[in-house]
Amino acid sequence: MIFSFVVVTSSQLYGQQSASLNQFPNNGYVQYENPKHRISLLYPSNWNVTESDNAINFSSPIEGKSDLFREGLLIEILRSGNIPLNEKVSLDIIALKQTLENFALIYSDANFRVSNYPAYMIIYSYTLNNATKYDAMKIWAVIGRNTYTISYSTESDNFQSYLPLIQSMIASLRVEPTEVIREPVQNTAGLRLRNNPYSIAVDSSTNRIYVTNLRSNTVSLIDGQKDNIITDIKVGTFPSAIDVNPDSDRLFVANRDSDTVSVIDGSTNTVIANIPVGTRPLDLVIDPAEEGVNTLIFVSNSNSDTVSVIDGSTNTVIANIQVGEEPVDLAVNAITNRLYVANSQNNTVSVIDYYLSKNEGLKNETVTRIGVGDEPASIDFNPITNRVYVSNSNSDTVSVIDGSTNTVIANIPVGTSPYGVEVNADDNLIYIANYLSDTVSVIDGSTYEVIDSINVSRFPFALSYNPINKLTYVAHLSQNTLSMINKTEPVIGVTFEVNPADSGYINCNGKEFLNGDYFRYNINTTLDCLAVPNAGFSFSSWSGDLTIRPITSSQTTFEVSKFGNVTANYIVPIEFTLPREYWDQLSVILLSVIIPAIASWSIPAIAGWLNAKRQRKRLREYMTRIYEVINIRTQDIATSSEQLKEIKTDIEKALASGNISESQYDILNRKISEHSNQNE
């Protein structure tokens, strides 16, 4: 069965077809079915078919050799991502030019179709070892969530012989698209982590953040500058707490179900010791400056009602201190050698003084037990104000303890089920993670009043403050994310990408970004972005996590509602190269038909094209000036207002002189008016 199908007019490109299909016995076809990829087509019964996960290859037999096959038709299936068809084609052609010897593009068809879906087809030639010449055809089609590439390549002398049969196979190809399935949109304005992030530690000397993942038994190492996961470190079972000693570059992890503490070398990100402690350790805290040892590490053993003390120089337990019922969280005043222990089952805080004796080892004394709210869950200490803050998970309050008198001086109502407590000593702010309210309460450490309640993603659990970038990190236990707060504003990170690299840049809200640049914004910020190509490139489309669908306008806006990326895609305009023998025929047509026909309009058309190009350049220049003014508006409203008036006068003159079009004037004028109104 032969289908009528034409790729190009063969007589125009290759002369008369010289070969028949006699090499395919009885022109017999069989049906091919691939349920996994939902593909079917007809192919010659004596051809070979080989399959892999993402490719199907149909090979023709070598004449007289029933068990040997040459290349025929190759179909490859890949996820399409968010890149439009023309961008995929442009990038692949660039790759072909770079990898194939003497690559020459002979023909292209942007209106091709595969299984009745839009497709793009090219025919090209190349050589191997600067000797054998090959002709090839390649087709791209985006169908559903997949990209299908169809390739046919053979020695140039044989290309015509197989072309009719290849055309028939492609014409018979049917693809049932897999439905484009989008993940449910969630309020996940945070960095995606592993299973159940439970505790956070910040290394203030390296700007690295460490997060324990309870159910994956790992610690995620995060770059505090670009907010990306560097690596995951395997530790014990159910890691519940982590602390870091920046002086020794050592990390200590309490493994709840292993009854151990893992010691991590921060320079190699490897576990160098596992120290047995009490039963069900839930928290640990470091005193990094105790005289006589490198470090003292205190570990709360919730089922042993003890605190184990580890000598950091030998990684051994040197004492076990009896405390209240089910100790869950710890805080330490390293200046006065005082330890605070939150006991969840008898609603107290144990206050313990400790010191080291050269002859007798660690000595300790329980000074008092302070009654707090119902089921204290977390505790933190402000060394500047000498205040201790305790979250009471079952009474929805935070108790404030005066470290000098060991008395509760305030009980502050917060959200539902407060767990994590973190002190920002720089600003004297205290952050409380309200697990069932999906909020973070911010307490003023001077007035003991809640000054803000920040809506965050679901199930905020643990907190940690980074004094380097001034951010407070929030681990969302059941949502598996890490969000960030700048004082009282949730912030989100955006990575700006340029594809291909060095093909242009992006200007958003007056700031220029190159490929790989990263910037944080307050949540729900609107970005006014302009894609600016470098010489030799043209803008193609926007894509990335912050786009719902590909955008083809070089100027657009994005709503920053989650961590993600914005990608400006650029293309190299496709060059068409015809073999020398076709130029002789084409020159006759040009001289006798085409040139006389276009002579009357060619010069004005070229002039118009050049003027439009100049207008676009001036549009970008004026838009950049406007963004620069907008960027300084908050610092100097009067100056920015005058500058906007000057720009408006300039664009009116440019419109009158024809340097910009009316539509371009409207765009610029609207942008000026929008921000002029904000200044008033």
Please write the tens of the pLDDT for every residue from 25-47: 445 788 888 887 888 888 888 88
The kind and range of the H/E element at 166 are helix 156-172
Residue 670 confidence (pLDDT) above 90: no
Please write the tens of the pLDDT for every residue from 57-67: 888 877 655 55
Number of neighbouring beta carbons within 10 Å of residue 541: 24
Residue 211 confidence (pLDDT) above 90: yes
Q: Which two tokens stand for residue 365?
A: 């004394």
Q: How far is CA 91 from CA 87, 147, 430, 499, 571, in A?
A: 6, 14, 51, 9, 7
pLDDT value of residue 256: 94
- Mean pLDDT over residues 516-529, rounded? 93
Phi, then psi, of 492 in degrees rounded to 5: -135, 145
CA neighbor of 171 nearest in space, from 38, 3, 29, 9: 3
pLDDT value of residue 290: 52
**One-letter-per-residue 3-state SS of 78-113:** EECCCCCHHHHHHHHHHHHHHHCEEEEEEEEEEEEE
- Mean pLDDT over residues 428-446, rounded? 95
Q: How far is CA 217 from CA 187, 256, 440, in A?
A: 26, 10, 27
Residue 239 confidence (pLDDT) above 60: yes
Phi, then psi, of 523 in degrees rounded to 5: -60, 140
Q: Partners of 476 in the beta sheet?
A: 460, 481
- Mean pLDDT over residues 198-227, rounded? 93
Sheet holding 174-175, edge to edge: 29-34, 39-44, 174-175
Residue of 260 and 22 predicted with greater confidence: 260
> Which 3 state secondary structure label does DSSP give 421?
strand
State the Rg of the chain over Cα.
34
pLDDT value of residue 29: 81
Please write the tens of the pLDDT for every residue from 213-227: 988 999 999 999 999
pLDDT value of residue 634: 53
Confidence at 668, pLDDT banded by 50, 70, 90? confident
Residue 490 confidence (pLDDT) above 50: yes
Confidence at 178, pLDDT banded by 50, 70, 90? low
Confidence at 2, pLDDT banded by 50, 70, 90? very low
Interatomic CA distance for residues 247 and 226, integer angstroms = 23
Q: How many CA atoms lie within 13 A of 500 on its CB side?
A: 15
Number of neighbouring beta carbons within 10 Å of residue 95: 11
Residue 25 has what DSSP assignment?
Answer: G
Interatomic CA distance for residues 545 and 84, integer angstroms = 14
Number of neighbouring beta carbons within 10 Å of residue 337: 18
> Which 3 state secondary structure label does DSSP give 509?
coil
Residue 675 confidence (pLDDT) above 70: no
Confidence at 592, pLDDT banded by 50, 70, 90? low
* Mean model confidence pLDDT for the chain: 83
- Mean pLDDT over residues 184-196, rounded? 64
Interatomic CA distance for residues 240 and 380, integer angstroms = 17
